[in-house]
Structure 1
Amino acid sequence: MNERRLPIPAAAALLWLSFAATAHAQQGAISGVVVDDASGAPIAGASVLVVGTAAGATTDLDGRFAIAVPAPAVYDLRVTFEDRPAETVAAVAVELQGETVLRIRLGRPLGAETDEEGALAFQLEDLRVTGERVLSTDTGILVERMKEVTIGDAISAAQIAQSPDGTSSDALRRVTGLSIVDDKYVFVRGVTDRYNGTSLNGVAVTSTDTDTDRKSFSFDMIPANLLANTVVVKTATPDLPGDFSGGFVKVSTLEFPDTRSLRWNWSAGYGEGTSGDPFWTSTGSGRDWLGQDDGARALPQGLTGNDLARALPNNWTPRRGKAPLDRSLGFSYGDRWRWGGRELGLVTALSYKTSRNTEEYTDSPVSVLVVDMPDPLEDIVLESRPWDMTGVRHESSLLIGALANVNLKLSERHKLSLKSNASRASREKVQFMSGDDENAGPTTRQTIVWNQRELWLAQIGGEHDLADGERAPGFSWNWHRSSSDAAEPDRKHLEYSLTADESYTHKENYRTWSALAEDSDGGGLDAHLPLLGGEFKAGAGRESRERAYGIDAFAADASQITGANAGITQWGTGSIFIPENFGPGKFRFVPITVFTGAYQGTHELRTWYAMYDRELRLGGLDLRLTGGVRWEDSDQQVLTRAEAGDTTSVLSRIDHRDALPSGNLTWRASDRLNLRLAYYASVNRPEFREMSDVLYFDFNTFQNVKGNPDLRRATVDNYDFRLEFFPQEGEVLAASWFRKTFVDAIEERLIPSPERFVRTWFNSERGSNEGYELEYRRGLGCFWGALAPFTVTANYTRVTSAIEYVDSQTNEQGERIDTVKERVMQGQSPWSLNLSLAWRQADWGTHASVLYNRVGRRLDAVGDSRDEDAYEESRRQLDAALSQALGKGWKLKATARNLLDEDEEITLGDEGRPYQKITRGVSYALSFSLDL
């Protein structure tokens, strides 16, 4: 798989240069500065848009902006800033390969003048610019971050557009202190995804997986091209949910455009070792191309036993073909209408993406047994392999995303909004493994899995000010409803041996159907009013979730096959389970009770909060203090029917009321320098699946998964310090320190068993997590003018953690001795590093970037002993992207992912004994987009 069979041809570089030269010949630029007319002070964060196009910019900390536009042409500019009416600067002429420089003054009589350099400048009379904050650009994100009361980081739509990232999980990999696990779950500051929260356009969302049912949102569900920005809040305020400790990820989809916007995009991708090579898929259904089974995989109702087996399709043999290129299509439309002081905004988008991937997979754990020997003899260490399997996994993925958002501005004081998002993701895996099993001898495993997930979310809300002015009293409200569904219909697993004469020996088989459905609704009311020179804010909310999960498992039992029919156990995969092979003296189709079960979960959450925010000057220091308390009344219940035919049920309940104080103090040492201190208390509640002891067989990891009804909720105290400096446009230097202390931390455990490992959850009594973050984003022009087109971004996170546990040993007298020891926290990565180098030639319309990511060795699961701890080894990832504006709204983009092509490895123990390994190839993609 590491073999390079498709080098990037030199001809592509020549072709790219020709595109760049063509685009360069059609480009011009508009640049300048926006200042306050009375003081001359620069205005940072103002949005400067070129009317009738998608071009625009946000002013930097010095009030400057630069926009590349096709030339020659004449344009109108529209400037918006905070709570002031928008204004248009008309008839700005741009010459071919020229630059028009503007000095826009806010607040004096309208006129035109020439600045000292002879460039056209404008003065605008009493210009009070209004509109929404533009948070889809790098500078806009940094300006917002500088003003925020909390500590956090973010990534903008502009950064995503300049990277190879295809989903929101890919994009989040670039954020300081974040790492991505399983291509979709976010770990923040070394703690697992379970300690993080996620909101989509302000509404809390969680995962929709049928297997692990994780608290974390599956970020592979949102296409990257539907994002406006993603903000990771790392300290809390009382108006934020109280169940996060690592970070709260606020995902925002496309913003409303200031003018009409229409965009199409198309891409094709090539994967080494996949595209054009032999590729296996299931027999499928007629609607697989929509990410939804049409019933071909459904479990027939009203039938049992052999009648059920004979009614099921004999689709155990996958289809062989060649993998096509990866493809994606996208469309977005936005507009805004104004009449009589009112304003209506609309944005809609649709995205469709398919991909194929072939992975080489190794599952070969090395177990150790230490035999204690009396002194002076050395202990005897015995190693064994319960199984040694290698094979290949063919994976087909599809992702569909859609959104429709409407914003109605009734007046300057009153706004209404309606936001809706829908996504559907499907993933099919066909896996072949072969090798030796300690109990079964030479074995071949074949698995076919189809997984489909859907998420739908609708939200309505309003913002109302009761008077004019920046500190006017007012209130906001929202109500939302969401549903998420997941299903794995007709998952098939077969084990057999194939002799030299190509005869089969049947060993084991499973056929399962599982489904998950969740509905949630809720709302909130927030009020704010000026008080004692600051702002008082209070609110209340409610969230209600209901979830149902069920799994049915069956097997073809060979125990009653008579001698006359014994030969059918040696038939091939395509014929062994034909309808005629079920009946008296043949196979029996029986339920597997250990893998059959169901649970129903409910969660009622009621919240209240009160907080105060004030800027003050104390001892000559400019300070901002925000603090208050949040109260959460939470009642979680999970009712489990663990096995088929079991009339008993297990009820797991966690009912708590928590008071969660928080405080954030910011010292604005200068216009560009902030020092921040923060403390907040938080909780971490288990998810429904973690509280249910329904057993699930994960064919991907070849592990059993089982919940723990005795789990307790965890409590966390969080401390943060950050120093951040914003030198100039789009630049930041920051250093942070943090510490977290845990009581009853929830972790994953990997328990050895004769059949296979069992993954479960448990509480660790006490633990801590401490570390620091360093962030650097700066243009290299400050060092040498010739390097002005280059920008370097780097962030590094270092974390140490300690979880106390009791190590029990038996001495020579047979007495038990307990010793309190420490280990790292489950999910903990000791460090993470992100590096990127970007080059931008604005007058050519060219942008190139190289991105590097690496995360330290991570404790994936806690074993029964330190020798059985499972670790994900450190792995380097290098990606690259190159984009070129072609004129008339066309844009070309080429990307390359996983250029280093390093294996993903899971090992056991401190010494890193082999366990599992996945090998992937390099992938390339080429995309075109058109903005109208």
Structure 2
Amino acid sequence: MQNCLLNRHKLFIAISAASLSVLAQPGFAQEADEQPSIPMPAIEAPVLEEMLVTGRQQSGAQTIVQERMEDAFAADLMGSDQISRTGDSNVAVALTRVTGVTLNQGKYVYVRGLGERYSSVQLNGAQVPSPELTRNVLPLDIIPASIVDSLKIQKSYSPDLPAHFGGGNVNIRTKSVPDEFIFNITLGTGTNTNSGDGDITYSGGGKTSGLPKAIDQALDTYQGYLDINGIRRILSTEVDNSVTPEQAQESIAINRSLMLSLNRDVAIREDDSPLDQNGSVALGNSWDIGDDWTVGSILNWSEKTEWRNKNQIRQGVGSPDVTYSSTKRTQEDTKELGSIGVGIDYQDMHNIEASYMLIGNETDEAAITFAQNSNNNLADGNQKVTYETRYQDREVEITQALGTHKFDQLSGNTLGDISVDWFYSDSTVETNIPGATTIGGDNTVDPQTGEVLSTRITSNSSAQFAFLNLQDDVISHGWNAKLPLLFDNAEVTLSGGYSYNDKSRQYFGYTALIDVGGGNFLEGMPGDVFTDSNINNLNNDFELTMSRGFGTESYIAGQMTDAFYGMIDATLSDTWRITAGARYEDFRTALLPLDLLDYTGITLENLIKELQNENQTYTRRSDDVYPSAALTYINDGFMNSETFQLRLSYAQTVVRPDLREMADVVYIDPELNIRVRGNPNLRDSMLDNIDLRGEWYFDGGNNLTVSLFYKDITDPIEQKLEPGSDSDIIMSFENALSGELYGVEFEGLWNLDYGFFVSGNLTLSDSEVVSPTNGGYTNSVRTMSGQSPYVLNAQLGYDSDDGKHGAALSYNIAGEKLTLAAVDTGHDDAFEQPFSSLDFTYSYYPIEQLILKAKLRNLLDEDREITQTNVQGQDVTILRQEVGTSISLDISYNF
């Protein structure tokens, strides 16, 4: 494979370099709203972000409130103290406490009902890549809450943010170098009510070596064909490709030896899962060097392992009584983090910090699916069975440097202190699936009891062994500068900046197949059939092949963005604040699908020549200006408030399709286990955003916020359900004609007597998306994917007077939301049903240094459900997945 790897490396260099030269050609650059269609070749609930409460949370909450009030654009914030109060273990769950935010699949944030593609995520102001095989957005469940200083969710656009903006921008700000010595140790354990009942695992669970070296080398030797005939063609010395009897036997022997190199130790068995376990350590300090200098450092380590049963029940929407399945699915999930940060400060005017962070996430999963259909009916004693194993290793490596600098006024009283901040971020993610297996079989069952009497691996089919690898590299850097101008009745700040983002991606996949014929050797489960002795027996019908269809999709891609912005912020007589600016972005992307089994010899020269063709279909570019403006009215004392602010803002933004959505390949969504097909003809979505927010801040930290929002979207990207059988669901993407989203948000906090307080937020919204009438949709006019008509968060909190006890009862629910738009089936669209989450956290502080915390999640024991109405008007639950109630106990000691 060395030559193939070298060729792929050259291809990547060529596509990155050639895209720049091609895109620079006259006439190629187009306005974003004039881009042509470009073909490509063959389911937790709430603390309010401005919470101001008494006791140990007060100082941190005051800082958050102050920042929110001073922001010219509508934003919600959460501090580390608020996250700790509700016991949220990661960023994804913490964000569900924010107004209008819902969580999809436990990791992807939906802001104001817009899917994850409409939201952007930054880490300390820098863009970072995603380890997800199916999405470009960062899964927020891998960021532990222990390293978070604050979360800023900006819902109205400002020019200093990336123009890729729809629902909002999430900026995760990690803890910086401490002002004093800290040393914290936390240990914990827990379980889930679904664990311990039918847990399963497999014999070879854990890390594997990936694609065997023997197969890797054989692909080069036999030019991508490992079947017996393919090997014979290479061994043949004759013009007509005929082989001698010795060569025929040799080709069979080579094929069997390659088959033996695969890890076939995938026998699934029942096994009790242990208790969850987690631990973390934080160590930091700072030291004064003379009167002017301060240096410091901080170390963080954490690890958490959970075992969960994610059992599923599926029904075919067309004939649910005939086509249905149940899946026993157990997953071991380990998340690890190690980070180090160092910083230096000079006179509180100049600060530079550097950090390194390594995040790991390993999942190991076993699943058995029992299925019925028209050909395998339980009444006849027949049942289909599928055995699946999957190990996935994800790693995110981030190196960042951040700086802030203030300069005293240079002259006179008009010019204020100039400030400059900058960042540099170099991050890499790699996701590796060194072995995922799928093996089908036939069960003979007792029609009365459903007991499995015997199992036989399905003849005339294949056992699949998948090997996937994704690597993203992102370099981003930028700076911002502010120049304050002070007048008698006005304060004016001029600001501007630049940012650059360079992303490269490599996605490679192979699928090896063991084809089996008929014979008594197929009796039993996978561990009984795919043994060395069975494979070495040449009387048994086995043959190794490489899939040349589904499962072989690969591609390389690159994206580059240059951006400049300028902004003016003026406050007049402490009553009116006017903020306006614009951002210019030059966005380039290039994507090349690959066939790793194609050894016909694509040359670097031929590729560059094709890329330079004016009709080439591999690259695209958009450059445009994105304006934004906000008007704020300030009136202290309005309606008996200490501070009242009314903000009105407008902005134009863009949402670009993910690389995976544009790739002309088919892949598997690992959470729902359904096929997904990319669409290379997707266009950018253009948005007009309008926000109006009123904020009242009262004595004692009580507050109230009411917000109105409206978004008009041109060419929104929507998920669609393509035609297929009940057992073969395929999802894809398509640009609708138009879409709009509008709604109102309410949020507030009120302190009660005896240490109690109540807080909550409610979002009411509606949406409409219009698809082409000739698109075959069941409903060409419908709600937008992921948009819930209501989202409710509520919390009852308690802090004892002596500061030793704290508790929070939290409730979260999101209304029914569209999951998949049906196409050409006659059935209605598929909807995810409301999920009610009731959580409880109790904290006990026996001494100042010691914290005992108990957490209960999903006390109502809700399941995740997706339903669809069929042609007969019958509501069918096409997917139900168990969630269970989680229980955890943590103990922390601060030295």
Matched, 1:200 2:123: yes
1:878 corresponding residue in structure 2? 838
2:619 corresponding residue in structure 1? 653
Matched, 1:522 2:467: no
- Indicate conservation of the 8 Å contact 1:597/1:644, yes or no: no
Q: Which moved more, 1:445-454 or 1:458-467?
A: 458-467
1-structure distance, mates of 2:775, 2:695: 49
Read off the aligned partner of 1:627 and give its amino acid letter. A
1:769 corresponding residue in structure 2? 741
1:349 corresponding residue in structure 2? 300
Computed over aligned residues only, the root mean square deviation of the Cα atoms, in angstroms, reads 2.6
How much has 1:917 moved relative to structure 2?
0.4
How much has 1:258 moved relative to structure 2?
2.1
Per-residue CA deviation, residues 842-890 of structure 1 (Å, 9 max, x unaligned), is 4141001101110100111211057242211111111101000011511
Structure-to-structure mapping, 1:718-729, within 5 angstroms = 718-729=689-700
Q: Which moved more, 1:898-907 or 1:571-580?
A: 571-580
| SS of residue paired to 2:635 | strand
Read off the aligned partner of 1:572 and give its amino acid letter. M
1:359 corresponding residue in structure 2? 310
1:901 maps to which of 861, 867, 873: 861
1-structure distance, mates of 2:541, 2:130: 42
Task: Kindly indicate which of the two structures has a greater share of residues assigned to helix.
Answer: 2
| SS of residue paired to 1:308 | helix
Per-residue CA deviation, residues 551-581 of structure 1 (Å, 9 max, x unaligned), is 11122212xx4xxx62223342112122344
1:638 maps to which of 573, 591, 597: 591
Per-residue CA deviation, residues 483-522 of structure 1 (Å, 9 max, x unaligned), is 0111122101112112144141415432101110011112
Structure-to-structure mapping, 1:673-684, within 5 angstroms = 673-684=644-655
Read off the aligned partner of 2:571 and give its amino acid letter. E
2:883 corresponding residue in structure 1? 920
**Which 5+ residue runs of structure 2 have no aligned equivalent?**
1-49, 219-225, 228-254, 378-382, 446-452, 608-615, 637-641
| SS of residue paired to 2:736 | strand
- Indicate conservation of the 8 Å contact 2:129/2:474, yes or no: no
1-structure distance, mates of 2:592, 2:120: 25
Matched, 1:890 2:811: no
Question: TM-score, length-normalised on structure 1?
Answer: 0.78
How much has 1:701 moved relative to structure 2?
2.8
1:504 corresponding residue in structure 2? 456
2-structure distance, mates of 1:438, 1:696: 27
- Indicate conservation of the 8 Å contact 2:136/2:658, yes or no: yes
1:302 corresponding residue in structure 2? 217
How much has 1:299 moved relative to structure 2?
6.4
1:800 maps to which of 766, 776, 786: 766
2:395 maps to which of 454, 463, 466: 454
Residues 61 and 556 (structure 1 numbering): CA distance in 2 closer, same or farther, change over 3 Å? closer
2-structure distance, mates of 1:454, 1:590: 31
Per-residue CA deviation, residues 415-472 of structure 1 (Å, 9 max, x unaligned), is 2111222211111221111121345662011211112211111111322223259931
How much has 1:893 moved relative to structure 2?
0.6
2-structure distance, mates of 1:459, 1:61: 30
Read off the aligned partner of 1:926 and give its amino acid letter. L
Question: TM-score, length-normalised on structure 2?
Answer: 0.81
Residues 437 and 579 (structure 1 numbering): CA distance in 2 closer, same or farther, change over 3 Å? farther
- Indicate conservation of the 8 Å contact 1:598/1:641, yes or no: yes
How much has 1:820 moved relative to structure 2?
9.7
Task: Kindly indicate which of the two structures has a greater share of residues assigned to strand.
Answer: 1
How much has 1:139 moved relative to structure 2?
2.7
1:612 corresponding residue in structure 2? 568
1:335 corresponding residue in structure 2? 285
Matched, 1:466 2:418: no
Larger RCO (CA within 8 A; separation ≥ 6): 2
**Which 5+ residue runs of structure 1 have no aligned equivalent?**
1-59, 69-133, 368-382, 781-786, 811-817
1-structure distance, mates of 2:801, 2:179: 23
- Indicate conservation of the 8 Å contact 1:260/1:334, yes or no: yes
| SS of residue paired to 2:93 | helix
Read off the aligned partner of 2:267 and give its amino acid letter. T
How much has 1:544 moved relative to structure 2?
0.3
Per-residue CA deviation, residues 779-805 of structure 1 (Å, 9 max, x unaligned), is 12xxxxxx2411111101111111112
- Indicate conservation of the 8 Å contact 1:256/1:335, yes or no: yes
1-structure distance, mates of 2:351, 2:720: 49
1-structure distance, mates of 2:321, 2:198: 31
How much has 1:61 moved relative to structure 2?
11
Read off the aligned partner of 1:894 and give its amino acid letter. A
| SS of residue paired to 1:232 | strand
Could you tell me the percent identity over the aligned residues? Answer: 26
Residues 623 and 167 (structure 1 numbering): CA distance in 2 closer, same or farther, change over 3 Å? same
1:281 corresponding residue in structure 2? 201
Read off the aligned partner of 1:861 and give its amino acid letter. L
- Indicate conservation of the 8 Å contact 1:672/1:727, yes or no: yes
Per-residue CA deviation, residues 201-236 of structure 1 (Å, 9 max, x unaligned), is 1211242112x1x23220011111221111100011
- Indicate conservation of the 8 Å contact 2:51/2:61, yes or no: no
Residues 141 and 573 (structure 1 numbering): CA distance in 2 closer, same or farther, change over 3 Å? same
How much has 1:147 moved relative to structure 2?
1.4
2-structure distance, mates of 1:862, 1:644: 35
- Indicate conservation of the 8 Å contact 2:132/2:138, yes or no: no
Matched, 1:790 2:741: no
| SS of residue paired to 2:619 | strand
Per-residue CA deviation, residues 799-822 of structure 1 (Å, 9 max, x unaligned), is 111111233599xxxxxxx99952
| SS of residue paired to 2:773 | strand
2:543 corresponding residue in structure 1? 588
2-structure distance, mates of 1:688, 1:778: 45
Read off the aligned partner of 2:173 and give its amino acid letter. S
Matched, 1:394 2:330: yes
Q: Which moved more, 1:522-531 or 1:196-205?
A: 522-531
Structure-to-structure mapping, 1:143-162, within 5 angstroms = 143-162=66-85
Matched, 1:177 2:100: yes
Read off the aligned partner of 1:361 and give its amino acid letter. Q
Residues 652 and 833 (structure 1 numbering): CA distance in 2 closer, same or farther, change over 3 Å? farther
Q: Which moved more, 1:139-148 or 1:895-904?
A: 139-148
1:539 corresponding residue in structure 2? 497
2:164 corresponding residue in structure 1? 243
1:495 corresponding residue in structure 2? 440
Read off the aligned partner of 1:427 and give its amino acid letter. T
- Indicate conservation of the 8 Å contact 1:244/1:684, yes or no: yes
1:601 corresponding residue in structure 2? 557
2-structure distance, mates of 1:804, 1:794: 33
How much has 1:767 moved relative to structure 2?
0.8
2-structure distance, mates of 1:65, 1:880: 20
1:261 corresponding residue in structure 2? 182
Per-residue CA deviation, residues 509-558 of structure 1 (Å, 9 max, x unaligned), is 32101110011112112222234741111111211000000111122212
2-structure distance, mates of 1:449, 1:819: 35
Residues 330 and 284 (structure 1 numbering): CA distance in 2 closer, same or farther, change over 3 Å? farther
1:430 maps to which of 342, 366, 381: 366
| SS of residue paired to 1:302 | helix
- Indicate conservation of the 8 Å contact 1:299/1:513, yes or no: no
2-structure distance, mates of 1:819, 1:895: 44
Read off the aligned partner of 2:730 and give its amino acid letter. V
